[in-house]
Structure formats: structure tokens, C-alpha cells
Amino acid sequence: MTSETKTPWSLDPRLAADTVAAGDLPLSRVLLSNDANYPWLILVPRRARAVELIDLAANDRAQLMDEIARVSTVLRDLTACHKLNVATIGNMVAQLHIHVIARFRDDGAWPAPVWGKLPAKPYDPPVRDAFLRDLKAALAADGGGQLE
């Protein structure tokens, strides 16, 4: 399968329910997980029926890697985290999506993966909004273009 398709793209409702949209990069929608336990971004390539990385055309795979690197760099710079976890799993939500999670040695799941360790802690809206403003400003300043 290639990313060229006539089926319109839409965000999986489970991702939409658990996140806040930060904006769009050239290929991916950038989402903030509504879990303040960890600074956690999710990139979702806007390609219908993409489930695995191999479902993307070669140029889209390259674009996705660039976007993962940009978002990872900005998240590390914004949070001064000790480690970044970058993963595409998709067992619960089949739609291709990439988790970029800032991890700290003192977070509640360290050093284990974050899934299932702590109940989700929704962001306070002012904290969430400030983080999204900082994220958008950092992406606009990194030379790769801003979130749309």
C-alpha cells in the first residue's frame, strides 16, 4: 500500500479523545496527550489507511523521520528531559501514530515504559495551553516551519 489513496484521512476517535491537537506539520498532525504525568506528543501521518511505517510511500517515510527528529529535539529542549521514548506500537489504535515522550528519572514510571503505570492525569488548561504555546513557538523558531 502507498500513501497515495482516495480515501480521506481522519483521526482515529480514540486518539482524538485522549489528546489535544497542537497543529499540523507537512505530513503529520501533532497531538499532545492529555496526561500531565509525562510531556507526551503523538505524531499521526495524515495518510488514510496507514497502519505500519511500511504503508507510507518512501518520501512520506523520510518526511516522517524528519518530523519525528524535529519534534523530539524541541520536546527535549523544552523539557530538559533525561531520555526520550519514541515508539510506534498500535496494538490498541491501529492508525499509524508515533509517541514521543519526555522521560525523567523521577517520573512515576521510570525506568519502565509509561503504558499502564499511572492513571492519566489531565492537564490543567492553563498549563496545557502554555506548553502548546511554547511548543508552537519552538517549532516556528527551529527553521523547519511552524505548526499550521
Model pTM score: 0.93
Q: How many CA atoms lie within 13 A of 26 on its CB side?
A: 13
Report, as an integer, the average pLDDT of 28-55. Answer: 97
With a cut of 90, say whether residue 142 has pLDDT above it.
no
pLDDT in tens, 103-132: 999 999 999 999 989 999 999 999 999 999
pLDDT score, position 3: 47
pLDDT score, position 144: 79
pLDDT score, position 4: 52
> pLDDT above 90 covers what percent of the chain?
89
d(C-alpha 60, C-alpha 118), whole Å = 34
47-51, 67-71, 89-93: range with lowest mean pLDDT: 89-93
Torsion of the alpha carbons at 43, 49, 51 and 55, rounded to the nearest 10:
-100
